């Protein structure tokens, strides 16, 4: 998804009207939004989800198509991705299918330095990236800077969490990663320093009162924002 290819994709898709999500594939999960006590299903599906400050989901499906939830429906965006993150200022970033990092410019994806396999965006709109070597990087305004530690996934908001290469959950504290207890495969940072995680078994947990508390349902990805609005790509929602 280099710059030239990305422009061509945008020009082609720009000729189309907004559309709902394409044909569901077997690897896609249904989308659910947290209602405070249970998961409420939303018409859509995907494999990766992130939540903007307005509570709207940005979704990548198993065909690597990118969608944004607007006015009660999912609209297709140009380009293709494997992971997506939206920050507290509304800035969206993706990992393209070419492993390169891109930032949304309100009409297309701008190629940024670096590559990755997982991405999240903090409150200021800066991306945190995990690359194929499990190295952790943070966008510092003009370049990505390397951080200590190794990870498989990252969740950033006002606080940053990772899933380490050992599967354990860690929180960034005073320049180092401190274990928080628990195991996961996916993590998303939420309101007031909280985190939402999905375990290897698909169980959903929320960091609350100093520990991870089990929630109903099961999923393989989760996205949260600073207001506590949460979506999952679920295998079942209750």
Task: Determine the pLDDT at residue 27.
Answer: 85
Q: Which two tokens stand for residue 134?
A: 């499990």
- Rounded Cα distance between 173 and 149, Å, is 12
What is the domain partition of the chain in residue ranges? Answer: 3-236
> How remote is the C-alpha of 141 from its chain's centroid?
20
pLDDT attached to residue 19: 38
Task: Specify the pLDDT at position 191.
Answer: 87
Tell me, what's the pLDDT at 24? 57
Predicted local distance difference test score (pLDDT) of residue 149? 97
Tell me the pLDDT of the chain (238 aa) as tens digits. 444 434 333 322 333 333 345 555 668 999 999 999 999 999 999 999 999 999 999 999 999 999 999 998 999 999 999 999 999 999 999 999 999 999 999 899 999 999 999 999 999 999 999 999 999 999 999 999 999 999 999 999 999 999 999 999 999 998 999 999 999 999 999 988 999 999 999 999 999 889 999 999 999 999 999 999 999 999 754 4
DSSP state of 17: P
Going by the DSSP 8-state scheme, the letter that residue 25 receives in this structure is -
The Cα 121–Cα 83 span in angstroms is 12
SS3 13: helix
Question: Tokens for 140?
Answer: 């510092």
So what's the pLDDT on residue 111?
98
Residue 115: partners with Cβ closer than 8 Å, 6 or more residues away: 95, 99, 100, 101, 131, 132
Burial label for 166, CB within 10 Å (0-12, 13-18, 19+), is exposed
* CATH level 2 (architecture), domain 3-236: 7 Propeller (2.130)
What is the predicted pLDDT for the residue at 157?
96
In this predicted structure, what is the pLDDT of residue 209? 87
Distance CA 171, CA 160 (A): 6
Pick the closest to residue 163 from 142, 179, 176 (CA basis): 179
Structure tokens at 208: 């609350």
Give residue 136's pLDDT: 98
β pairing state of 230-236 and 203-208: unpaired
The per-residue pLDDT for 213 is 96
Q: For position 3, what pLDDT does the model report? A: 44
């Amino acid at each position: 998804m280099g710059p030239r290819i990305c422009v061509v994709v945008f020009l082609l898709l720009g000729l189309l009207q907004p559309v709902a999500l394409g044909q569901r594939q077997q690897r896609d999960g249904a989308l659910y939004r947290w209602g405070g006590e249970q998961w409420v299903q939303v018409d859509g599906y995907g494999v990766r989800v992130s939540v903007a400050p307005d509570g709207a989901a940005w979704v990548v499906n198993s065909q690597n198509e990118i969608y944004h939830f607007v006015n009660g429906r999912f609209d297709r965006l140009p380009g293709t991705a494997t992971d997506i993150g939206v920050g507290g200022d509304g800035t969206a970033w993706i990992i393209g299918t070419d492993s390169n990092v891109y930032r949304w410019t309100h009409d297309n994806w701008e190629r940024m330095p670096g590559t990755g396999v997982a991405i999240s965006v903090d409150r200021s709109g800066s991306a945190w990236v995990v690359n194929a070597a499990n190295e952790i990087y943070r966008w510092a305004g003009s370049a990505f800077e390397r951080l200590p530690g190794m990870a498989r996934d990252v969740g950033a908001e006002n606080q940053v969490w990772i899933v380490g290469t050992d599967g354990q959950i860690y929180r960034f504290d005073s320049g180092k990663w401190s274990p928080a207890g628990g195991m996961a495969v996916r993590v998303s940072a939420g309101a007031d320093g909280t985190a939402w995680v999905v375990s290897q078994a698909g169980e959903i947990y929320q960091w609350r009162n100093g520990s991870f508390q089990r929630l109903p349902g099961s999923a393989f990805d989760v996205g949260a924002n600073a207001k506590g609005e949460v979506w999952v790509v679920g295998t079942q929602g209750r």
